[in-house]
Amino acid sequence: MNSLMRNEGLFPSMLTDVLGVSPFLGPSLFDVDFDMLPARIGFNVPSANVKETEKSYHIELAAPGLAKKDFKVEADNGVLTISSEKEEEKKEGSGGYTRKEYSYNSFSRSFTLPENSKTDKIDAKYEDGVLKVTVPKKELTPVKAKKEIAVS
């Protein structure tokens, strides 16, 4: 049972072996939320700010260097997924030689939506390197207080 405890399981050991992480850093290196892990091993996931107001939820993703067409925003079964794919080709030519470099960047972030979200009214705008997603709230029917009726 001890081998299944956090920081003593197979996953940190495999990462240490595969990535060549020094055992002297200690197991606390891997004691993180898994949302942070991709950034530690080379994937770039944009940071998100989430704010709630009286009438809506606001999500902002810092994603500079992208265009509106690079984003895909979907709401399905209570989950909001924001993803992006961007492929670039760079060509250089000189002296009869041509060099091509391809670059492919992508990410995906998912957010569980509260029950009072109006998924059919979600709005997304991209400006100044920030994707701003607004999820309006619907009014929930308040639960009426229980009333006991006397039997006569």
Query: pTM (2 decimals)?
Result: 0.58
- Residue 150's CB is within 10 A of a number of other CB atoms, namely 4
| Per-residue pLDDT tens digits for 2-37 | 433 444 444 444 444 444 444 444 333 333 334 444
Any domain includes 35: no
Any domain includes 110: yes
CATH number of the domain enclosing 54: 2.60.40.790
Any domain includes 17: no
Domain that holds residue 96: 46-136
Counting Cα atoms < 13 Å in the Cβ hemisphere of 75 gives 17
Number of domains in the chain: 1
| Per-residue pLDDT tens digits for 107-133 | 899 999 998 999 999 999 999 999 999
Any domain includes 106: yes
> Which are the contacts of 72, defined by CB distance < 8 A and separation ≥ 6?
81, 82, 83, 84, 85
Distance CA 45, CA 63 (A): 9
